[in-house]
Every structure is written in C-alpha cells, then in structure tokens.
Structure 1
Amino acid sequence: MEMKKMRQVALILAFGLLAPMLDTTMTNIAINDISRDLGSSLNSVQWILTAYVLATSVAVPFSGWLSQRFNGKYVFLSAQLVFGAASIWSALSTDVNSLIFARVVQGFSAGLIIPLVTTILMSMGSRKVVNDLMMIVMLPIMVGPIFGPIIGALIVQYGNWNWIFWINVPIVLIVSGLILWKIPDLPGTNVKAKIDWLGILLLGAGSTSLIYGISRAGREATFNNSDTIIYSLVGIALLLVYAAWGAFKKGTAVLPLGLFKSPVYSATIFNLILAGIITNGPMLILPLYFQQGRGFSILATGLWMLPQGLGMLLIRPILLKLMNQLGTRYVVLISLSLTLLGTVPLMFVTKSTSMWLISAILFARGLGVGGVIMPMMTSILVGMKKELIAQANIGARIFQNMGGAFGSALVATVVASYLQNHHYLTANIVAYQHAFGWAVAITVLMILPAMLLPKTVD
C-alpha cells in the first residue's frame, strides 16, 4: 500500500477513535446534571462511568480473537455501529439503570475499537511506517482530555446531557462510510483461534463484584456492612478461582499466570491498577468540586479543567525522548512526583482558594498523570517471551481499565460516605478533600513498585 493511502487509513482510524475518546471525558463533565435529572445519588450515577470502563476491559481479549477469526475491516465496522446504537440507547434513557446498561454496551464496543485500531495499523507496513503513522492515530487520545470537557460543557450548557450521546451518532455514520470505502479487507489470520471464555468470565465477574461491594459502602455510609463484605468476598473468591483456572490452562489462559514470574511485569501491572485509580477517581470528582463545591456553571467547569488536559497533552510528545535519556524508571518516578505536586494541594482547597493557583496545580497534575502510564506500557514487555507478548498486552489493558473502574467507585464511596455522616455547611468541600487524600496515598504507594521498573526501554 502506498504511503498516501496509508495516511488516509490512519486518518480514518483516528476518526474512529474520536467518539470513544471524547465520550468518556464529556460524560465526566456532565455527571452532576445526569445525577440531578435522573434523581440519583453520586454513588449510583458513578456506575455510568464504572460500568463503561469495566466493559471496556472485558472486551479487550475479544478484540484480538475477533480480528483473528474474522475480517478485521468488518469487525471494526461492527464495533463502530454497536457504539452508535448504544449511544442512541444512552441518549434515550430516562432512568439511571437503563443508562448504566446502555453504557455497558457502549463500553464493550469501545473496548473492541481501541485495540482494533492498533491491529489494523500494524498490518499496514513495517515498524518504521507504523511508528510514523502512530502520531496521527493517537491524536484523539492526546486531545480528548483537553477538548472533551469543553465540548461536553458547551453541549450541556446550551442543550442537555442527552446530546453528549447523540453527537456520537453522525460521527459513527461518517466513520462507517469511510471504513467501507477506504479501508482494505483484512482477512482473519487464524480462523480456528479459540478464546478463554471461562477465564474472561471469572476475571470480569470477580472485579465487578469487588467494585460493586466498594460502591455499596458509599450507600451504607460505612465499609462495615453486609453487602460490601459479601460482594467483596465473592469477588476475591472468583479471582482465586481464576488463579486455579489459570494454573490449569497455563499458556492458553486469557491471562497466563506465568507472566507474573517477571518482576517487571508484576510491578507494572500493580502500578497500572493504581494508575487507573489515581487517573479516573479525581477525574470524576474534579467537575463536582467545581460545580457543587464552588458553584460554577458547567461551561466554567470545562474551562477550568483545561490546564490539566494541557499538561497531559504537552508531556506526551517528549516522553519517548525522556525515556531514552533518563530511563523508564526515572521518568515514572518524576511523573509520580509531579502527580503528587498536583494532588496534595487539592487536599486543602476551599471555596475561596484562588482559581489561578488551582489551575497551576492541575497543570502539574496533568504533566504527572500524562507521564505515568505510557512508560509503564512501554517497559512491560522487557524480558518477555515472544509467545506471551500478545497476552501480556491484553493483561496490561485489562488491569489498567479495572483500576480506572475501581477508582471511580472508590472516590464516589469516600465522598458519599462523608456526606452521609457529616451535615455541616462545608461538608461538600471536606468530602472532596478526603477523596483527594486517597488519591495521594495511592500515588505514594506506587513509588516502591516503580523502583522495580527497568532503567531503559531496551
């Protein structure tokens, strides 16, 4: 395929990522309006975000299997159409349960789309060509945190939250037409490929049960309640059953236990879970702090979220250069330090804290958070056996997404529990301070495993 056509395909792939990437950040900014309009508590509404991220993780192993069994072009097209249909369902939802179920379908299709983009790109040419095109394809991922909150705020300010989902529909229709027109056929590479259905079920059900147990603590205003204890124990039991299943299946399990023999892989997976928590958790409560704690409009909230997105955007283009100069380990440690610099002060923000100071804090946080995950994903394959690389990547994506889902549930629980137990006027602000405190503690916890990361990316 000539370079001009490959660039066209890369642009279509980037356009195909646009709706899933913007959808997440736009939904975050609208969570307060959704909660109000549907008459639901934060503890219930956070499942709109949590269910989406969990479904994304469950879909990741299916993506590789589908592209092996079937024509990748039509798998990608089908995932786009399902995402569009789920967006319509979300927009038409009149109660929180319907919206959560719609978001499960939407998240699952997004979980297929993201890895498929990489698979299609890698089938187009040499590693050098793929690297040259990667910046085009990754553009929606880079700009999503910047423009998502602002676009979402404009939509809700001058319309309503339903249009956050309606806007996906024309994008999906245009992308689908371009896929049919411009993307070449990508025949399946292994039509007899099998998938570890039981392993996926055990991992998905175990993590969901654990996260649901945590979220119930928010509703009961205490972690010491029967629902939290029962669901958490069931979740742990299912994950232990998966451990036994993985030992039996060995290399054919969706996540082979042999991967964890590598100290680098184990440390990286642990930190990817925590990175998901410190990224998604604060992203849920920052808009609420601005809207409920400071009384800002949704548009003002979107604009004040801009510095964090700018920080995330500015750090990404220089990460590879930094890793080559300093080594993966030190880039992650520096990023964690910046994350702490941008999170510790949030434990002390009040209604009168200067917004320009908060902007500087969020910019530092964006630089830090933006520099944590990519170096770890780069180093995770160091010393890995070639036959385990695909499953190692699947495991990394699954656990990162699980951490993100857990982060949303955790901070929602911390805020809801505090508000139910404290009724004084400043309880809103103090509840957010406590939630940011948890983010700080988890960021500190990441430092020791980060010391096990390789010094270089070689």
Structure 2
Amino acid sequence: MSSTPAPAVPRRAIITALVLMVGGLAVIFDSTIVSIALKTLAQELSVPVSTIQWVSTAYLLALGVTIPVVGWAQARIGGKRLWMIALTIFLAASIACSLAWSAPSLIVFRIAQGIGGGLMMPLMATLAIQQVPRGVGLGRLMAVVSLPAALGPILGPTIGGLILNWLDWRWLFWVNVPFCLVGLVLAWRVLPADPPAGRTKLDLVGLLLISPALVGILYGLSNVSQDGGFSRPDVWAPVVAGMVLFVAFVLVEIRRPAGALVDVLLLRRRPVASSSAVLFLSGASLYGSMLLLPLFFQTVRGLEVLAAALVLIPQGVGALLSRTLAGRLTDSLGARVVAIAGFAVMGLATVPFAMADASTSELWLGGVLLVRGFGMGAVMIPVMSVAFLGLERDEVPHGSIITRLAQQVGGAFGVAILAVILETAVGGATDIAGVTAGFAVAFWWAVGFTVVAIGVCFALPRKPVAELARTAPAEELEPTAADGA
C-alpha cells in the first residue's frame, strides 16, 4: 500500500489545540468523574439515588441542548470570546457545585455546568481546525483535539475514585478550577483573534424543535437502566416524541440552509455522514464500556470502587500511547484503514472479558485493557479528521456540532442498550456463576458494536487524509463518489 507523506501541521494550529485542550479536560473529566460518585452524593445530601441521579441527567440534558447553538453564537460574538465566556460559565458553575447545600441546588448548578460544557465541546474542534488550510495535517491535529474526549471516560472514574477515597465530595468540582483558570489565561494570551461574522439571526424555529428533541431522546435513554427497560413510559414516550421533533427539525432546516441553526445538508457529503455514523457507534462502545468494566470488576471480581477505578488505568495508558501514531497514519494511510484497525483491536481486546471470571489473572486483564485502550485511542482520530474534509471555514462549526451530537447520542444509546442487556442477562441470578454469565453476554454485545462499526468504516474515505486535503476535487467528497474517495 502506498502512503502519502504527511505535510507539516501549522504551528499555530497545534498551539491553538493545546490551549483548548487545557480547558476541555475540565469539561470531559467532570462529566465522567461525577458518574462514580452518585451513591456518595446521595448519602451526603440525604436523598435517594433516584433524586441524585439528576446530577448527571441534568448535566447531560443541558449539554445536549446547548451544543446546537454554538455555530450561531460563534458567528455572533466570535470564537475566542465565546470560548472564554463558556469557560468562565463552567468555572463559576464548578465553584457553585462545590458549595451546594442541597441536592436541588447541586442539580441547578450542574445545569449551568452543562451549558458551559455544551458551548465548549464543539468549539474545541472548530477553533483548531479553522487554523488549518484545506485540512492539512488533520490527523495529527485531531490527536491533540480529541485527547480529552478519549481520556475522559477512562480516567474520569479513576480520578473520582481517588478523590472520594481521600477527600470530601466537594473536591470533585474543585478539581476543575485549576484547568479553568489556566485555560482562561492561555486563551486570553494565545488564541488568535476571531471577530464576529455579523449580527446573524437566531434560527428560533430550529432551536424550538431541536432542544426538546434532544431532551426527549437523552432523557428517555437515561431511564432505560431502571426496572422495565424500554417498556417504561418514561423511556419510549420521550424518545418517540424526541425523534418526531428531530425529523421535523431536519425537514425545516433543509428548506432554509442559509439561516439554519445546524446545516444538516452537510450530511449529503460522504465524509461527514460516514464519520457521524461511526462516531455514533464509537460513542456507544466507549461509554458502554464505561458502564460494563467498572461493574464487572466490582461485581464479579469483588473490588471496591477505588480499586475498580485503579485497575482501569492501563486502558487510559493505552489510549495515550496510540494517539501520535494514529494521527500520523491517518494523514499518510487514510482514515478507513486506521479506523478499522482501531475497532478491530477494541473488539479483540473485549473478547477476553466475555470469557473472564472471578479467577482470571488480574495481570492478564490489565494487559488486555492496555491493548483495548490502544485501539480506543486510535479510533476517534481518523473518524473526526475526515468529518471536516472539504468544509469551508464557516461550515466547520456545523460539522463540529453534527459530529459532537452523534457521539453524545451514541454514548447515551450504548449505555442504555448495554444496561438493559446486562440486567436481562443477569436476571435474578444471585450466584457468582450466573452473574458472570450475564456479564459475558453483555460483553459479547459490546464486541458486536465494534463489528458493526467496522462495517460502517468501509464508507470512510480510502485515500490518505493528507492527499484528500490537498488534491481531492469536490465531487470526491460527495456520496456518489466511487469507493468513498
């Protein structure tokens, strides 16, 4: 197979990505750190777990509702200014969360955190990619931009476990403060000026359709883990209503592309559509495994919360090790090859957990997690890279919103599906053999997610990203192009 020499990434793009990563780490870690602390928060604030669950649910809903307005907000006030405003909101909300005096106050402050995080997440990719001419070096740039998103679900629970073991729960939120403060200073001094595009009009109709659509879908999926699964009215009713509103949103936006809140017509381009589909599946696999693995180590292996978090560290190390290599290979060999290889490694490294039990060697499982993390770290880089191929500067925010929403909804879907599968497979089993068999079924389903993702990856562009960025004519980026470019 021939490879295309990868051109140098502009220095300003790498610096921009590194600055954005500092603030982005706070957002991504925060959304996963809290997930491990719900039981502790319920005890400390003297409320049932069903109430404190809204600490996570409210954050997730606020995040999803905010993401679609980022393109309009950036055009209205400028990217650098919007980033600093969002980071300030997140900083203030984090401090407020640490000072919360009750469960309702904590939930309200988490909504504010979700608004700040929802503004920041698409901006991370947008502001960095807008510094790259014609997508030169997108693979290596994405290795930096997507680092927080890859490490958050892996290291977040570990950090949360360490904090809960040695510190008060309020430190779950204070840990964000240094990232936010340093991120603000760096953004003010380093990020390039990004003036507003003008007094763009807010697509109010689109906003009134997409906001309740996302709330319905995400809220419904968040309830799937409770007794009854998908048969619960508070699952299927909001999900169905959300999907109806989402279809209406797409139909409305297609008719008014110039002033659309989100330019859904970008999905006519094969790279954007295929990347979004793969990101949906990668989100399902990434966040689904975040549910299964800690539960496996606690339930089957009998580990405490902290120990279960610590044994997942090799997976984070593996994700770190693969990023530079995956970025370079994406630019020189192509997104399709790297993404398929990454999913294949993930799938193969999940199989041992489907065959493991309470007596399986811990050293062996640690090595498997290292390999699994290597595959996970390699997957998102090629997929996110090709999503922005051929996009003009003003189209990049819309591409970022589409891919972020795909991953966000995919994560919620993956957690919901695997939670139901695990609950059904375990059933009423009380013996360790029955519970272990239930986890085996769930892990085999997780392997199935990766197999489906590999199939979808064949729709990704075949040529090296560096070559496509320099030479691909517009028609090669359309869905009618033979062999996916």
In which range does the TM-score fall when normalised by the shorter chain?
0.7 to 0.9
- What residue identity is the alignment partner of 1:447? I
User: 3-state DSSP class of the match of 1:58?
Assistant: helix
CA contact (8 A) 1:50 1:409 kept: no
Counterparts of 1:171-182 in structure 2, within 5 Å, are 171-176=179-184, 179=187, 182=189
Provide the rounded CA distance (Å) in 2 between the counterparts of 1:281 and 1:218. 12
Provide the rounded CA distance (Å) in 1 between the counterparts of 2:140 and 2:277. 31
Q: CA deviation at 1:310?
A: 1.1
Hey, what does 2:90 align to over in structure 1?
Answer: 83
Q: CA deviation at 1:242?
A: 1.3
Hey, what does 2:431 align to over in structure 1?
Answer: 425
Counterparts of 1:99-114 in structure 2, within 5 Å, are 99-114=106-121
2:338 counterpart of 1:327? no
- What residue identity is the alignment partner of 2:428? H
Give the stretch that moved more between structures: 124-133 or 337-346.
124-133
Any stretches of 5+ residues in structure 1 without a counterpart? none
Instruction: Evaluate the alpha carbon distance shift between residue 191 and residue 387 of structure 1 in structure 2; reply closer, same or farther with a 3 A threshold.
Output: closer
Q: CA deviation at 1:149?
A: 4.2
Write out per-residue CA displacement over residues 110-136 of structure 1, whole angstroms, 9 at most, x where no aligned residue: 222244455555677978899999877
User: 3-state DSSP class of the match of 2:230?
Assistant: coil
Instruction: Evaluate the alpha carbon distance shift between residue 16 and residue 423 of structure 1 in structure 2; reply closer, same or farther with a 3 A threshold.
Output: same
Hey, what does 1:64 align to over in structure 2?
Answer: 71
- What residue identity is the alignment partner of 1:154? L
- What residue identity is the alignment partner of 1:405? A
Hey, what does 1:158 align to over in structure 2?
Answer: 166
CA contact (8 A) 1:251 1:258 kept: no
Q: CA deviation at 1:279?
A: 0.6
CA contact (8 A) 1:219 1:417 kept: no
1:379 to 381, 386, 392: 386
Instruction: Evaluate the alpha carbon distance shift between residue 223 and residue 87 of structure 1 in structure 2; reply closer, same or farther with a 3 A threshold.
Output: same
CA contact (8 A) 2:98 2:171 kept: yes
Provide the rounded CA distance (Å) in 2 between the counterparts of 1:398 and 1:145. 17
Hey, what does 2:242 align to over in structure 1?
Answer: 235
Provide the rounded CA distance (Å) in 2 between the counterparts of 1:387 and 1:124. 12
Instruction: Evaluate the alpha carbon distance shift between residue 63 and residue 157 of structure 1 in structure 2; reply closer, same or farther with a 3 A threshold.
Output: same
1:368 to 360, 368, 375: 375
User: 3-state DSSP class of the match of 1:219?
Assistant: coil
Provide the rounded CA distance (Å) in 1 between the counterparts of 2:249 and 2:396. 20
Provide the rounded CA distance (Å) in 1 between the counterparts of 2:123 and 2:360. 44
CA contact (8 A) 1:217 1:228 kept: yes
Hey, what does 1:302 align to over in structure 2?
Answer: 309
Alignment length (residue pairs): 453
Instruction: Evaluate the alpha carbon distance shift between residue 455 and residue 96 of structure 1 in structure 2; reply closer, same or farther with a 3 A threshold.
Output: farther
Provide the rounded CA distance (Å) in 2 between the counterparts of 1:90 and 1:342. 38
Hey, what does 2:30 align to over in structure 1?
Answer: 23
2:282 counterpart of 1:275? yes
Provide the rounded CA distance (Å) in 1 between the counterparts of 2:201 and 2:191. 25
2:261 counterpart of 1:254? yes
2:329 counterpart of 1:341? no
- What residue identity is the alignment partner of 2:402? G
Percent identity, aligned pairs only?
Answer: 32
Tell me the TM-score normalized by structure 1: 0.83
Write out per-residue CA displacement over residues 156-200 of structure 1, whole angstroms, 9 at most, x where no aligned residue: 1112333111222354345445655x3578363323123334324
Tell me the TM-score normalized by structure 2: 0.79
1:405 to 398, 412, 415: 412
- What residue identity is the alignment partner of 2:70? S
Instruction: Evaluate the alpha carbon distance shift between residue 132 and residue 324 of structure 1 in structure 2; reply closer, same or farther with a 3 A threshold.
Output: closer
User: 3-state DSSP class of the match of 2:234?
Assistant: helix
Instruction: Evaluate the alpha carbon distance shift between residue 67 and residue 214 of structure 1 in structure 2; reply closer, same or farther with a 3 A threshold.
Output: closer
CA contact (8 A) 1:219 1:416 kept: no
CA contact (8 A) 1:7 1:133 kept: yes
Write out per-residue CA displacement over residues 307-329 of structure 1, whole angstroms, 9 at most, x where no aligned residue: 11111111110113222443211
Any stretches of 5+ residues in structure 2 without a counterpart? 1-9, 469-485
Provide the rounded CA distance (Å) in 1 between the counterparts of 2:384 and 2:137. 21
Hey, what does 2:176 align to over in structure 1?
Answer: 168
- What residue identity is the alignment partner of 1:157? N
User: 3-state DSSP class of the match of 2:239?
Assistant: helix
Give the stretch that moved more between structures: 367-376 or 64-73.
64-73
Write out per-residue CA displacement over residues 406-425 of structure 1, whole angstroms, 9 at most, x where no aligned residue: 33333344445666x41523
Provide the rounded CA distance (Å) in 1 between the counterparts of 2:103 and 2:292. 19
RMSD, aligned α-carbons: 3.7
CA contact (8 A) 1:280 1:408 kept: yes
Hey, what does 1:204 align to over in structure 2?
Answer: 211
CA contact (8 A) 1:69 1:192 kept: yes
1:224 to 231, 234, 253: 231
